[in-house]
Amino acid sequence: MEQSTASVVQGGELAEDAGQALVRFERVVEDLAKLVCGISQSSRGQMAQAYSVARTMNEFQRNTTEARAGTQEAAGVIGDSTQLAADLRTSVSKFRLTDSDPIGSTVIGLPSAAEAVDGGARVSAIDGDQVQAPHTA
């Protein structure tokens, strides 16, 4: 009987130990569940930040594309202006006022001070040939 009582006591102690082990196991499972929830929330936050970064990068790319197009357009306009200036310089370089005509006094198509005095504006071409403007009376 004594042995039976000892077996019952020993069984009770084992049951008590098992109960405490289950309590510890439950705490570990609860801690793990809290950690998993924290990881999940962290992942959602990081996903939202990644989405925000992707949106910002797309906006930056769109702005860069627009800026590149504007720069290319400006370069084209500058190239056209440069060509127009060169063409104008070439066109105007064929004509110059003679030394006897005061600077800025002759405007093509309008009478100058020289026309009022001697009846015609003198214009010379680059090749040195004198050209006499017709007299407008």
Summarised one tens digit per residue, pLDDT across range 59-109 is 999 999 999 999 999 999 999 999 999 999 988 888 766 666 555 554 454
Residue 128 falls in which region: left (phi positive, over 0), alpha (psi -120 to 50) or beta: left
pTM of the model: 0.45
Burial status of residue 105 (CB atoms within 10 A of its CB: 0-12, 13-18, 19 or more): middle
Looking at residue 76, its pLDDT comes to: 95
The 10 Å Cβ neighbour count of residue 74 is 10
80/42 same-domain check: yes
Judge if 101 and 83 occupy the same domain.
no
Asked if 15 and 55 sit in the same domain, the reply is yes
Looking at residue 104, the DSSP 8-state letter turns out to be T
Residue 131, domain extent: 94-137
For the chain, the maximum distance between any two Cα atoms, rounded to a whole number of angstroms, is 156
Shared domain check, 85 and 58: yes
Residues 41 and 72 in one domain: yes
User: Structural domain tally of the chain?
Assistant: 2
pLDDT above 90 as % of the chain:
55
